[in-house]
Each structure stands twice: as C-alpha cells, then as structure tokens.
Amino acid sequence: MTIAKPSTFLSSSISSISGTVNNLNNELLEYVNPEKPTHDHSSQYYKRFFISKFNLGDKAIEAKFSSPMKISEGDQITVSGYQKDGALQVLAYQNQTQQVTSNENWVVLVLGSLFFFAVAIGLLNSELVIEGAIIPKLFLFGFTLVAIYMGYRALLIREAVKLLSN
C-alpha cells in the first residue's frame, strides 16, 4: 500500500492511496421520484448511486459514483479523494489490473455551476429583489450556494484527477 503526499486545495485535503482491493462490497442505492406515475416503470425516474466499499491495506475506502466501479477483489488500484467519517471518499480512481481510469464528470459540474450563477445574476437584476421582497432574495441565496458548491466539487474532482496522474 502506498500513500501519496496529500494535496491541500481550498482547505480540503485530497490524498492518493495505492494498494490491493480486499473486502469488496458493492451496493446500489436508488431514489424514486415521488411524482412518478405508479404504472410507469421506466428507469429515467430513478436516481441511482453505485457504492463500493473496500479496503486498501488497513485503509477503509468508500466510492459513490453514478456508474459502477470497474474493480474486483485483488485488483491493484490507486484512488484519490478526501477523508470523511473514517473512510477515504473516492473522487477518482485508476485500476492498474484492468487498465481503467474513471472519475465523475467535473465538466458537467462546472457547466451546472455557471448555469446557477447565471440564474442568480438574473434574479439579482429583477425588480422584486431590488424592491426588497424576501422570497426572491432567498432564491438568489439558494442559487448562489448551489453554484458555489457545484464549482467547489468540480475543482475537488479535477484536483483528484491531477493527483492520480502524478
């Protein structure tokens, strides 16, 4: 097992760990849209998260992706992410055994962040906000927070990808 030097970025510590996968446990977490018609069973109404929990040496690893990780018991992999609740939360991984590298799409998060900032700027210039109405101000605040979070998350993923390539 190899632990790479952590990278500090926006006060969050991104680190990289290499090792052999053991105690692999894959789970599927599904959320159903409550407004979905009961007779419709199409998959577009479900939000799926594929969760993989495993150990690299004595380190607990947890990965939540929108598609399943391509790993098996005994694979040599390198993961990069941040510590949360005693486990490393994976943002990007590289499987040397199966020759696979993957991460969540940080470009989509950047585009989403720009969209939410554009909506917030549009709200900022609205007459209701200028007049002091509370509801548009709450929406302005909410859209701004979502945009900041999405941008921050995209930067974390990008930093994790860079750490893997070193």
Q: Can you give the pLDDT of all 166 residues of the chain as single tens digits?
A: 656 655 555 546 888 999 999 999 888 887 766 666 666 666 566 667 889 999 998 899 999 998 889 999 999 999 999 998 889 999 999 999 999 999 988 999 999 999 999 988 888 788 877 787 787 788 889 999 999 999 999 999 999 999 988 7
- State pTM to two decimals: 0.78
> What pLDDT, on the 0 to 100 scale, is given for residue 124?
79
Q: Measure the CA–CA gap between 58 and 49, rounded to whole angstroms.
A: 25
In this structure, what are the phi and psi dihedrals at residue 15, rounded to the nearest 5 degrees? -130, 165
For 11: left if phi > 0, alpha if psi spans -120 to 50, otherwise beta; the answer is left
pLDDT of residue 165: 85
Phi, psi angles (nearest 5°) of residue 145:
-65, -45
CB 93 within 8 A of CB 102: yes
Q: Is the CB of residue 33 less than 8 Å from the CB of residue 89?
A: no
DSSP state of 11: T
φ and ψ of 113, to 5 deg: -60, -45
Backbone angles phi, psi at 10, to 5 degrees: 50, 45
Distances (CA, A) of 35 to 13, 38, 98, 152: 39, 9, 40, 30
Helix (H, G, I), strand (E, B) or coil at 38: coil
d(CA 153, CA 66): 15
In Å, how far from its chain's centre is CA 166?
21
Q: Are 137 and 129 in contact (CB under 8 A)?
A: yes
